[in-house]
Amino acid sequence: MSIKIPFNIGFNENIQSRTGEIHLSFTEEFQAMEQEQRVKIYRAYLEHLIAKAQMAKDENSQKGVITVLQIADQLFPHLQAEQIPLQETIIVEMGENAEGSSLDDLLNSGPE
């Protein structure tokens, strides 16, 4: 059984600031699905990531999969509640000098 991937992942690294950004963009196919189908596909993807993390052969691969899994897991309840605009790219800043807000803060803040 092939796993449908709900989003594409990109990574930008800034060596000077010692930060990195993970960019998540939901695929057009995923965006076009009905909500119930999206939740089913996303849940299967989370299970796939868990299995992939357990089977990783080296520590760096495992860390990468676990990072994506943690982000995807944090997004899941918001996806279920239809709180995420699927056409937008989600940017997660990581590193020692990363700044920003939590996803909950961003989703719960109203327009200024």
The predicted-structure confidence for 4-56, as pLDDT tens digits, reads as follows 899 999 998 888 777 888 999 999 999 999 999 999 999 999 999 999 999 98
d(CA 41, CA 60): 26
The residue among 98 and 3 whose pLDDT is bigger is 3
Give CB contacts under 8 A, 24+ apart, made by 31-40. 31/86, 31/87, 35/82, 38/6, 38/79, 39/79, 39/80
pLDDT exceeds 80 at position 103: no
pLDDT exceeds 70 at position 112: no
